[in-house]
Amino acid sequence: MTASPVISATGLFTPPESISNEELVESYNAYAKLHNERHTDSIAAGEVEALEESSTGFIEKASGIKSRYVMAKEPVLDPEIMAPRWDDRGNDELSMMAEIGVKAARQALERAGRKPEDVDAVLCAASNMQRPYPAIAIEIQNALGIDGFAFDMNVACSSATFGIQTAADYIRSGNAKSVLVVSPEITSGHLNWRDRDSHFIFGDVATAVLVEAKDIAPQGHWDILGTKLKTVFSNNIRNNGGFLNRAHPDTRDAPDKLFVQEGRKVFKEVVPMVSAMILEEADKLGIDPHGLRRLWLHQANAGMNRLIAQRVLGHEASDDESPTVLDTYANTSSAGSIIAFHKHNDDLAAGDTALICSFGAGYSVGSVFIRKT
Ligand code: COA
């Protein structure tokens, strides 16, 4: 008999420092002013473009974002740096992604009443890894003292839901009984803080989801009713950063080596793709989408979530039906829907059916229908 996968618990690590829109815009505008002053002649000659100011009003209206957490506030806000900076760590020290991943994972284990030795596998599912190898997941596994296997996986903003389906499949096949899906997202390292169109988008965080076989799960777990993944190639969200950059010293620091997007196109193309997939999957699983108690959607843009929720639920969603964490966390890539789930699930009752859904670069969409027990 195949085992049924459930979500036993989640964990969250939030960095201690945050940046408000006001602080962010002040720093960007200082940078833009400096840039314009330093290039007065080439701007006048039409060789360099003058930079326009950013505005808090635009950011909040266009995205719903009011603030974001970061691992290194000062250098990000310094108009002469505009990027995170930290000291290199020795090979005998825990790397940064592993460190915050371990913190989120420990909380998930505690909440489930689980010891590390009960866990069989660790997936580090995130939109960027700080090094190619050894896998961050194996470092997390080692730091926690887990006997088993671990590997990294990257499906950009959908990494966590793709990780949940992968973990669920290990449970279904009997290859594992307890799997940690850890998503440390240090997005501040691949956001271009000098790009007016996107400098406000991202924040740092780490989440963990413990996926287990139902027969060992703690009380109050969530049955996984069905998972569905979809990818369709698109260049509209792209990051050309990577280990081969070194081959081209002239272009290795070019803006395309960080996050770039065609935000309007993403908005227009992803909303119908996500809504259609959720409705198709609900139909296959015999779930009435209008009866879904809550949607924990990917946290990229408040307007996108409003439209998707409306198409799925058949009416305009209240904050209770489709909670947001964009205001405080901004877009945290794959961790967004998991933060929303982590912070807004205690009040649901046994029998309530709900949905975790992520979407983003690739394009990629991952949906996880769950029911509270
Ligand atoms: N401050 C002030 N004005 C700004 C600005 C800023 N920081 N950034 C852009 N603008 C201006 C633009 O110059 C443009 O001006 P124009 O009309 O005079 O040309 C105007 O605001 C509209 O810009 P646009 O980029 O079309 O805004 P938008 O309404 O599409 O909102 C996003 C931008 C990025 C918030 C939005 O497109 C989005 O969230 N898309 C989905 C992104 C997504 O989910 N990505 C996945 C990432 S994982």
Segment 234-249, tens digit of pLDDT: 999 999 998 888 777 7
User: Ligand 1 mean position to 265 CA, how many Å?
Assistant: 11
Q: What is the pLDDT of residue 252?
A: 76
Which ranges in the chain belong to alpha helices (H)?
A: 21-38, 40-44, 56-63, 73-77, 96-112, 136-144, 159-173, 263-285, 302-313, 326-329, 336-343
User: Ligand 1 mean position to 365 CA, how many Å?
Assistant: 22
What is the rounded distance in angstroms from the CA atom of residue 143 to the CA atom of residue 152? 15
CATH code for 223-372?
Answer: 3.40.47.10
Does residue 267's CB lie within 6 angstroms of at least one atom of ligand 1? yes
Q: How far apart are the first and last CA of the chain?
A: 21
Residue 1 has pLDDT above 80, yes or no: no
What is the rounded distance in angstroms from the CA atom of residue 10 to the CA atom of residue 218? 12
Provide mean pLDDT across the span 98-113: 98
Provide mean pLDDT across the span 89-108: 98
Cis peptide before 363 (omega within 30 of 0): yes
User: Ligand 1 mean position to 331 CA, how many Å?
Assistant: 14
User: Ligand 1 mean position to 200 CA, how many Å?
Assistant: 10
Q: Do 46 and 255 touch, CB atoms closer than 8 A?
A: no
Segment 215-240, tens digit of pLDDT: 999 999 999 999 999 999 999 999 99
What tokens were used for 68? 């974001």
Does residue 246's CB lie within 6 angstroms of at least one atom of ligand 1? no
Provide mean pLDDT across the span 117-138: 97
Q: Do 341 and 206 touch, CB atoms closer than 8 A?
A: no
The residue contributing the CA closest to ligand 1 atom 44 is 300
Q: What percent of the chain has pLDDT over 90?
A: 95
Q: What is the pLDDT of residue 340?
A: 98
Average pLDDT of the chain to the nearest whole number: 97
Segment 361-372, tens digit of pLDDT: 999 999 999 999
Q: Would you give the distance in Å from CA 27 to the centre of its chain?
A: 25
Does residue 358's CB lie within 6 angstroms of at least one atom of ligand 1? no
Residue 5 has pLDDT above 70, yes or no: yes
Q: Which residue has the tokens 């974002």?
A: 65
Residue 253 has pLDDT above 90, yes or no: no
Q: Do 229 and 368 touch, CB atoms closer than 8 A?
A: no
Identify the sign of the CA torsion 151, 156, 157, 162: negative
The residue contributing the CA closest to ligand 1 atom 14 is 197
353-360 vs 294-297, strand pairing mode: parallel
User: Which amino acid makes up residue 180?
Assistant: L
Mutate to test the pocket of ligand 1, among 66, 155, 197 (most ligand atoms within 8 A of CB): 197
Residues forming the active site: 157
Segment 317-347, tens digit of pLDDT: 999 999 999 999 999 999 999 999 999 999 9
Does residue 117's CB lie within 6 angstroms of at least one atom of ligand 1? no
What is the rounded distance in angstroms from the CA atom of residue 276 to the CA atom of residue 272? 6
- The DSSP code for 56 is H
Identify which of 70, 323, 36 has the alpha carbon closest to the alpha carbon of residue 193: 70
The residue contributing the CA closest to ligand 1 atom 39 is 301
Q: Where are the domains of the chain?
A: 223-372
- 335-338-342-343 Cα dihedral, nearest 10 degrees: 70
The CA-atom distances, in angstroms, between 42 and each of 48, 80, 183 are 5, 20, 44
Provide mean pLDDT across the span 4-22: 98
The residue contributing the CA closest to ligand 1 atom 29 is 62
**pTM, 2 dp:** 0.97
Provide mean pLDDT across the span 78-99: 97
The residue contributing the CA closest to ligand 1 atom 34 is 263
Which ranges in 113-230 belong to alpha helices (H)?
A: 136-144, 159-173
Paired strand residues for 204: 186
